[in-house]
Amino acid sequence: QSVLTQPPSASGTPGQRVTISCSGSSSNIESNTVNWYQHLPGTAPKLLIYRNNQRPSGVPDRFSGSRSGTSASLAISGLQSEDEADYYCASWDDSLNNWVFGGGTKLTVL
């Protein structure tokens, strides 16, 4: 059971916009910033979004993040086949004194 809750799967067709939600609580998302990661099997996870909505250099602006209260979301516009991957949210939890992850969302590009 993950502290942060994500839908297990999401899907879209090329060119579409999809969003992935991440639900937490007052001790994590509401109090601390959220990171989003893209993970392809057999590779190292890649930071997509940090501090809720900031993109590291090299990450396309098709990826965007937002946070409101105890929830956060990742939006991917202009969906491409190469976006098919697992996506994870993460945040620091003040009660646990731990980083916590969502359970991951498997994105399928149809």
- Counted residue by residue, the chain has a size of 110
Residues 49-108 that bind other proteins (CB under 8 A): 50-51, 56, 86, 88, 90, 92, 96-104
SS3 82: helix
Instruction: Work out how close the CB of 57 gets to other proteins at its nearest, in angstroms, rounded to a whole number.
Output: 11
Binding mask 21-60 for other proteins (x = CB under 8 A): ------------x-x-x-x---xxxxx--xx----x----
Structure tokens at 92: 């620091």
Choose which of 2, 19, 23, 27 interacts with other proteins (CB under 8 A): 2
Structure tokens at 47: 């930071």
Structure tokens at 103: 């359970």
Which of 108, 83, 73, 94 is CA-nearest to residue 27?
Answer: 94
Instruction: Work out how close the CB of 13 gets to other proteins at its nearest, in angstroms, rounded to a whole number.
Output: 26
Tell me which residue has tokens 């731990």.
98
CB nearer to other proteins: pick between 44 and 81:
44
Measuring CA to CA, how many Å separate 30 from each of 20, 24, 25, 68? 17, 8, 6, 8
Q: Which residues bind other proteins (CB under 8 A)?
A: 2, 33, 35, 37, 39, 43-47, 50-51, 56, 86, 88, 90, 92, 96-104
